[in-house]
Chain A
């Protein structure tokens, strides 16, 4: 592919420099993406060493395969897909279960007429505790739903980019995100109810 054929010519040119062994270009790529990559790995793995290993392997993979980048997708999308695979490798290396679910947490919550079977939702009190509760509930999510929520939280990462990273359609990404948020809401509602009791 030529620069002209790439949809992301700046990214393509930068990675061409990396492929040619340009250390300044390698540093620029890593500086621009390293922080948010590490943040994503930490939140996905909840283990500092595993996150560090995943980040190192992803960045080394990026530098070593820079010549394969064709600029059809953004550098960020390409790099996060590499990182995502390294995170999955870390799960396997550490013998952790990688649970994936398409289940809708509210699938049984509605009557035939489309109304809530149990409408007794109580407003949550504004509290610092909510952040802790949400964090805890996110750790309980199936892997694919947690990925969707964590990608959604990255600044200025579009649904299109997130879906490309996950290898799903935008509609599928949005459905996984929706179910993940709904699962966290349900879990948080239980926890907030416990603490209010």
Chain B
């Protein structure tokens, strides 16, 4: 519990990742929300921070299946060959 989060940008900054991930305790969430009401620059900072977190999720994409399948077949063949030695 850090009531100072509502007043201090440095403490607000420290909990931003947990805030974006929904991993903050409820009481700290209220201090963050209070800080945001009082501090327009931190609101912009949060928007940018959240945009980075969301872009990171969007950049995650599974590799093309045919490419992976080829590698898996090669690994299985090597494993089978080693078992036969």
Which residues of A are at the interface with B, using a C-beta cutoff of 8 A?
21, 23, 26-27, 30-31, 34-36, 38-39, 42-43, 52, 55-56, 59-60, 63-64, 106, 110, 113-116, 119-124, 130-131, 134-135, 138, 149-150, 152-155, 159, 174, 177-178, 181-182, 184-185, 188-189
Contacts and interface: CB of A to CB of B under 8 A. Distances in A.
Contacts of B71: 34, 38, 52, 55-56, 59
Contact of B61 (A31, A39, A110): A39
A176 B17 CA distance: 10
Interface residues of B, number: 45
Interface in B5-59: 7-11, 13-14, 16-18, 20, 23, 41-42, 44-45, 47-49, 51-53, 55-59
Contact of A114 (B11, B44, B59): B11
Contact of B72 (A30, A110, A152): A30
A103 to B, nearest CB: 15
Contact of A39 (B55, B60, B76, B82): B60
Contact of A35 (B23, B65, B76): B65
Given A39-B61, A116-B42, A120-B41, 16 more contacts: A30-B75, A34-B71, A38-B63, A38-B67, A60-B75, A64-B82, A110-B13, A114-B8, A121-B44, A123-B47, A123-B48, A138-B56, A150-B60, A153-B59, A153-B60, A188-B51
25 contacts: A30-B72, A30-B76, A35-B65, A36-B62, A38-B71, A39-B60, A39-B61, A43-B59, A59-B71, A63-B75, A63-B79, A110-B13, A114-B8, A114-B11, A123-B44, A123-B47, A124-B48, A131-B59, A138-B56, A177-B17, A178-B16, A178-B18, A185-B52, A188-B52, A189-B48
Contacts, number: 128
- Identify which of B63, B65, B74 gathers the most chain A CB atoms within 10 Å of its CB: B63
Contact of B49 (A120, A130, A181): A181
B-side interface mostly: helix
